[in-house]
Amino acid sequence: MPTLYVVATPIGNLRDFSPRAVETLKSVSLIAAEDTRVTMKLCQVFDIHTPLTACHQHNEENKGAQIAERMLAEGIDAALTTDAGTPCVSDPGYLLVQSCLRLGIAVQPVPGCCAGVAALSVSGFDAREWAFYGFPPREKKALREKLRSIAAGPKIAILHESPFRVIELTEAIAEALPEAVLSVSCDLTKLHELTLHGSPEEVLARLRENPKAEKGEYCLVLDLHGVPDPGPEAVTSGMSLEARLTEELLAGKALREAQAALAAAGEKKNAIKAAALRLKRLFDGEDDA
């Protein structure tokens, strides 16, 4: 039976690429790469001559299934890589993995770098329980709601952000979660690696002072132990209207009553009605909006 190897690649320092990862990429018949140009450079450094094919967020829905079917038909092993770090963790790849699993193809990890875990390891925070949220929303209202919902979850949270938006994100954290403690890392494993610790305002000041702040990807680790419990409103604010209607239905309300509850909470009636109609279609018209 063929095997798909999910291979983590360096996030900056090529010496972090494991001998097992190199051996795996040399031994498989095909490498499914997020960007073949990036993976080609890695292959050149490590004398890897395996054929490459592109599998990224814009083509993965179809390409993932095609690769899995080819692996099964030809009886070949393949490897999955992204530009940097571990595939499928805030990166493409999970649809290819799903396709392989559906066809009974074995999937094995070849562990290595993961920027979020690396940032967490130098935060000094209690990391026995944490949540990873990837890149947060860009729109300000959605970002505020996301931060409120994050505050209602595990007390250690990890976010990714681009260098061009990290100051804006830190400003939002300072406004919404001023009691949080931050550990903000960029250029991990690279020559100019930097990690800033402190309150949101302290970290924000350091970022504003840094003329090179708009270089390198950022990982932000939030310690939320000192943040007051935001209450149930924060939890529901990050939920879809359909999910909130369902929550009301599970509490024993009729659909009309559930709609009225959301309207009383300030949601727009037209949006509530549209969500209720979608729920009705989902449940084959069991209730009447």
pLDDT, residue 232, reads 57
- Residue 228 forms part of a structural domain: no
Closest CA to 32 of 5, 62, 12: 5
Number of independent structural domains in the chain: 3
- Residue 289 forms part of a structural domain: no
User: Each residue's pLDDT tens digit in the chain (289 positions)?
Assistant: 899 999 999 999 999 999 999 999 999 999 999 999 999 999 999 999 999 999 999 999 999 999 999 999 999 999 999 999 999 999 999 999 999 999 999 999 999 999 999 999 999 999 999 999 999 999 988 999 899 999 999 999 999 999 999 999 999 999 999 999 999 999 999 988 999 999 999 999 999 998 888 888 999 999 999 998 766 555 555 578 888 888 888 888 888 888 888 877 667 888 898 888 888 877 755 444 4
pLDDT, residue 274, reads 87
Helices of type H across the chain: 19-27, 36-45, 60-74, 94-102, 115-121, 140-151, 166-176, 200-209, 232-237, 241-250, 255-264, 269-282
pLDDT, residue 21, reads 98
Give the SS3 label for residue 229. Answer: coil
Residues 247 and 278 in one domain: yes
DSSP 85: B
| Strand arrangement, sheet containing 78-81 | 52-54, 30-33, 78-81, 3-7, 106-110
Residues 123 and 203 in one domain: yes
Residues 173 and 258 in one domain: no
Residues 256 and 273 in one domain: yes
pLDDT, residue 288, reads 45
pLDDT, residue 287, reads 45
- Full domain range(s) for residue 120: 116-223
Residues 191 and 258 in one domain: no
